[in-house]
Amino acid sequence: MRTLFYYHPDFLEHNPGRGHPERPERLRAIIDGLKDSSLDQQVEWVEPQTVDPSYLKGIHSDEYVERILALDGCSTALDPDTVVSPGSVRAALRAAGAAVEAAKAVLSSSRTVAFCAVRPPGHHAERNRAMGFCLFNNVAIAADRVITEGLARRVVIFDPDLHHGNGTQNAFYRRNDVFYISIHRYPYYPGTGAISETGEGEGQGFTANVPLPGGMGDDDYMFVVMELVLPVMESFRPELLLVSAGFDAHVSDPLGDMSVTESGFVGMYSRIMTKALEKNIKCAFILEGGYDLYALRSSVSSILETLIEEKFEHSHEIRPCQEVQEIVDFVIERLRI
């Protein structure tokens, strides 16, 4: 599997301040993990360009885009969690650029997958508001752009980040060309992602929220993939799958209360990639959360090794808890699958 790895030193220049969990060391840990395992020599490194600002306006309002761009070189807090430093805006422009470039690259090439090691993350960014460490909604911008340019007619966004991707959901809540699927802890920040949120208007039935209690682990997440994500990939027939690759559901993460391990992430994505190859669905992963440095490092390395070597293993017997099975059954009854 040809694996593109999108990274730029500008991502390290986004510095929310000492003690902030979304810190530059996150990417340094990922890069160190690749080098220690020699994976850095097996991926194709790509330095993304800054995104065309007009692309941002497919998801964000003109006023919001101009307001964020005006903060380039400044230091300020947009809310208690979301901080801008002098290098933040340029990093955010490159992060959105990486997502767009990766989506286009995999759509134009066979047997190619992409991983975007970007900062700041994006899935909380709303049309008119920065929040949850996010400035621009990288995944949403990429999905909207490839559809706008006619490179894809349908896109699935899978978001297993610990926190619900409110910004991504709202961007496509009334659309039927993007199917958004989120697994997240609930109730938890940002308070959205209830099981009843399934879309509106033309988008009714094209949003799937799987709100889970704390403590859920590998089997629970893999069950959601098997019973929900794969059937959506089968029935919705997307040309592109974008993964909001959050790792804060890891058992070691300081912001979560889940029990997913590296093996759990590999198991989920092994099953997803097998279906993607079967159905010729192109895939790109865009980094979101994940705040334990070792867990982030080891999880990303394990996933990249799996993608490169195509070691998609499915031998693990899945035994989810009863509550997860009931939640998934409830969700499926209300979707367009």
CATH code assigned at 143 = 3.40.800.20
What's the domain count of the chain?
Answer: 1
**Cα dist from 61 to 97, 235, 305, whole Å:** 18, 32, 39
Residue 188 is predicted with a pLDDT of 97
Please report whether residue 323 resides in a domain. Answer: yes
Which residues participate in catalysis according to the annotation?
Answer: 124
Q: What is the pLDDT of residue 38?
A: 98
d(CA 270, CA 74): 42
pLDDT at site 313: 78
**Tell me, what's the pLDDT at 141?**
99
Does the residue 69 lie in any domain?
Answer: yes
Domain of 229, in residue numbers = 2-332
CA–CA separation, 311 and 266 (whole Å): 10
Per-residue pLDDT 10s for the chain (337 aa) are 999 999 999 999 999 999 999 999 999 999 999 999 999 999 999 999 999 999 999 999 999 999 999 999 999 999 999 999 999 999 999 999 999 999 999 999 999 999 999 999 999 999 999 999 999 999 999 999 999 999 999 999 999 999 999 999 999 999 999 999 999 999 999 999 999 999 999 999 999 999 999 999 999 999 999 999 999 999 999 999 999 999 999 999 999 899 999 999 999 999 999 999 999 999 999 999 999 999 999 999 999 999 999 989 777 789 999 999 999 999 999 998 7
> CA torsion 21→6→304→222, rounded to 10°?
60
Parallel/antiparallel/unpaired status of strands 2-6 and 44-46: parallel
Give the CA distances from residue 64 to residues 61, 95, 144, 297, in Å, rounded to whole numbers and listed in that order.
5, 17, 17, 33
By DSSP bridging, strand 83-84 and strand 76-77 are: antiparallel
Domain assignment present for residue 337? The answer is no
The structure tokens listed for 73 are: 């070189």
Task: Write the CB contacts of 100 (distance below 8 Å, at least 6 apart in sequence).
Answer: 51, 55, 141, 142, 145, 146
The reply to whether the predicted model has a pTM over 0.95 is yes
Measured CA to CA, the distance from residue 52 to residue 130 in angstroms comes to 19
Cβ 138 vs Cβ 121: under 8 Å: yes
Predicted pLDDT of residue 336: 81
Torsion angles phi and psi, residue 243, rounded to 5? -110, 120
Helix, strand and coil content of the chain, in percent to the nearest 5, comes to: 40, 15, 45
Strand, helix or coil for residue 79 = coil
